[in-house]
Structure 1
Amino acid sequence: MIDETIEEIREMQTHSSSVVAVKATQSLAELTERDYATVEEFERDLERNVGALKRANPSHASLYNALQDVLRSVQGETDTFEDARELTLDTIDRVVESVEMGKSRAAENAATTINDGQTFLTHDYSSTVMEAVELAVDEGAELTAYVTEARPRFLGRKFARELAAIDGVEPHLMVDGASGMFLAECDRVIIGMDCIVEETLYNRIGTFPLVATANKMDVPVTVVGSSTKVVDGGFRFENEIRSPSEVMLEPVEGIELENPAYDATPVELIDQVITDEGLVEF
């Protein structure tokens, strides 16, 4: 399960960073099913696999924090493998619940800011934003949504399809470059986040030009996510450079293909950051 999860993270089969953190954490339960002669042997294997899962995507702060929590809570705390096994399983359950509850509470807080009749623009795929929209609609809001495709993996298409299944939401799917044309029709921008580190938002590529344009056009920008994604220290963001084949299937001589997964947006361009702990001040 661990190896499969590492491959899934590398291939971006799961788009939400919160879901990635949960799956990676749960995969560590596989270690408790193995036989170890000593607790030290188990802890070495736990540390090795935590490291491998973190390296699968070093850009995800929530993944890093969840795995570090498990490692920190288990290492050096028990004298036998059986005790370590039970502690590991209990810790996995606690960490997963914390990630999921943080995401849900952030969505609940964001939903209270979404009013009936609003038109919003969103980029990429955020399960937290999706949950916030669903909660707002459950409370009676009728919304119009403009969704970017989020090239080159077109993650916005999935978001638009899911919005289309919600009664009360009118989704519009557009190419990334069209956001400047449609922002004038929007009341706000609502996006998720990969992480915020030292007053910089790291999110799916295309976020920075969208936020900068919205800022220029006086369209307020709200960023939504779990507080575990807002990092003060101990985590260094590493951008992921994706395969050139996602941009152009056939390589062309003389062209250097650039395909970074994320870009950096100064938080000073953002009007609101909403987490499970409420509004975050910078």
Structure 2
Amino acid sequence: MVLSAITYTRGALRILDQTKLPHEEHWDAIYSSSDAWHAIKAMRTRGAPAIAIVAALSLAVELETMKLSAVGEEVAAFVEEKLGYLVTSRPTAVNLGTAARELVGVVKGAVRDARGEGREASGEEVKEAYVQAAEVMLEHDVRDNERIGEFGGRWILGLVGEGAGGDGGRVSVLTHCNTGSLATAGYGTALGVIRYLHQNGLLERAYCTETRPYNQGSRLTAFELVHDQIPATLVTDSMASALLQQKGASSNIQAIVVGADRVARNGDTANKIGTYQLAIVAKHHGIKFLVAAPRTTIDLSTKSGDDIVIEERDGKEVTMIKGPRYDGVNLDTSVVEQVSIAAPGIDVWNPAFDVTPHELIDAIITDKGVVERREDGSFSLYEIMDQVPPSSATVPHES
């Protein structure tokens, strides 16, 4: 059974507090958009798709439980204000902004449609339009992730041919950060690719990085892999190059698969810090480097990675580390301690993300299919987004 980090029924939302994992499974109730903003900011819920889903559903819960205005236009204005507030929780991931724009369009559409019928929309019908749209987003995220898993798994197998992997037809994959059920509504993106391979008996081993400084790999991805009984090995971020250099089991690594928080129009990809260096390592070793992301993560309005705002976080995430007490023999999960691991007074730079240039990315796996880098080194993302590229007469060619 695949792990779930979001539970929702009409009027009730709970999230698994990921700051307490892997040693404690604690669920937080989310009653309002304010609750969600603080949960996202504190990284109790994280991952670009999950952030968007939790934000959207939190406002759905708030609308269900509050005393609504009878005037639909006022409810629509309230929704727009709250969604704008939620978008400020974490600026780099595009999914939340995309979801917010779509949901604002839904409530404005409800108001406009009522006027087209010669009446004013009620607050109740605007609320219902919003809640239904947010619930559809939840359903679609799980479905889209499963598609990403299958498309990506089949693409990787195509590198060696079905049944022609290095170990009885099976392949190994390296991944970074957490891109599974904990980062999405369910199943996962890059980890969804690994799940697909495992569920079909095609995975030899998954390798996951520690993902400093917040340790999403060692805390969260490792937790999911153990939970799902997927054969896996944890390595520190600095071991990736040595791992790809090794002979034996790790020599069967066919790809490095990562998630994304924003994919720019030219294919440049913002993802968890440490992704860029893995792309460089993959290039050196001749390993395919793949980005797995739903189309909601592709931002055609952002020309390149130069235009992506990179969130910087508190330096204490680098200089401090938190976990349950260990006395050398036993782990006491009832006592959580935070300890210093750096010289007091040292300056810290702590960007949460980096940008991998599109030239280092071999393919982008989406819920509609795999977009491969073209021979000229560029990506064409308009078709996968069901959009027509701007005229070359008005927009310079981008490589």
TM-score with structure 2 setting the length: 0.66
Measured in 1, the distance between the counterparts of 2:146 and 2:231 equals: 23
CA separation of 1:80 and 1:272: change in aligned 2, threshold 3 A: same
1:153 is aligned to 214
TM-aligned CA deviation for residue 92 of structure 1: 1.6
Alignment of 1:205-224 (within 5 A): 205-224=273-292
Measured in 2, the distance between the counterparts of 1:165 and 1:142 equals: 16
The structure with the larger Rg is 2
Pairing partner for 2:254 from 187, 196, 204: 187
Moved more, 57-66 or 243-252: 243-252
Pairing partner for 1:246 from 289, 314, 317: 317
SS for the counterpart of 1:125 is: coil
TM-aligned CA deviation for residue 105 of structure 1: 1.5
User: Contact 1:193/1:223 (CA < 8 Å) preserved in 2?
Assistant: yes
Measured in 1, the distance between the counterparts of 2:313 and 2:292 equals: 25
Moved more, 54-63 or 114-123: 114-123
Pairing partner for 2:63 from 31, 51, 56: 31
Off by >4 Å, runs of 4+ in structure 1: 250-254
User: Contact 1:58/1:237 (CA < 8 Å) preserved in 2?
Assistant: no
User: Contact 1:18/1:100 (CA < 8 Å) preserved in 2?
Assistant: no
5+ residue gaps, structure 1:
none
TM-aligned CA deviation for residue 40 of structure 1: 2.8
> What code does the residue aligned with 1:163 have?
L
Q: Deviations over 1:142-184 (max 9, x none)?
A: 32122110011110012123223444x4311111111111123
User: Contact 1:18/1:103 (CA < 8 Å) preserved in 2?
Assistant: no
SS for the counterpart of 2:231 is: strand
2:141 is aligned to 99
Alignment of 1:99-138 (within 5 A): 99-115=141-157, 116-127=169-180, 128-138=189-199
Count of residues in correspondence between the two structures: 281
TM-aligned CA deviation for residue 129 of structure 1: 2.2
Pairing partner for 1:56 from 54, 67, 89: 89
TM-aligned CA deviation for residue 238 of structure 1: 2.1
> What code does the residue aligned with 1:244 have?
G
TM-aligned CA deviation for residue 82 of structure 1: 2.0
TM-aligned CA deviation for residue 197 of structure 1: 1.2
> What code does the residue aligned with 1:161 have?
F
1:230 is aligned to 298
> What code does the residue aligned with 1:28 have?
L
TM-aligned CA deviation for residue 114 of structure 1: 4.4
* Greater fraction of residues in helix: 1
Measured in 2, the distance between the counterparts of 1:161 and 1:26 equals: 25
> What code does the residue aligned with 1:271 have?
D
RMSD over aligned CA atoms reads 2.1
Measured in 1, the distance between the counterparts of 2:370 and 2:195 equals: 20
User: Contact 1:120/1:187 (CA < 8 Å) preserved in 2?
Assistant: yes
Moved more, 104-113 or 265-274: 104-113
Measured in 2, the distance between the counterparts of 1:234 and 1:181 equals: 35
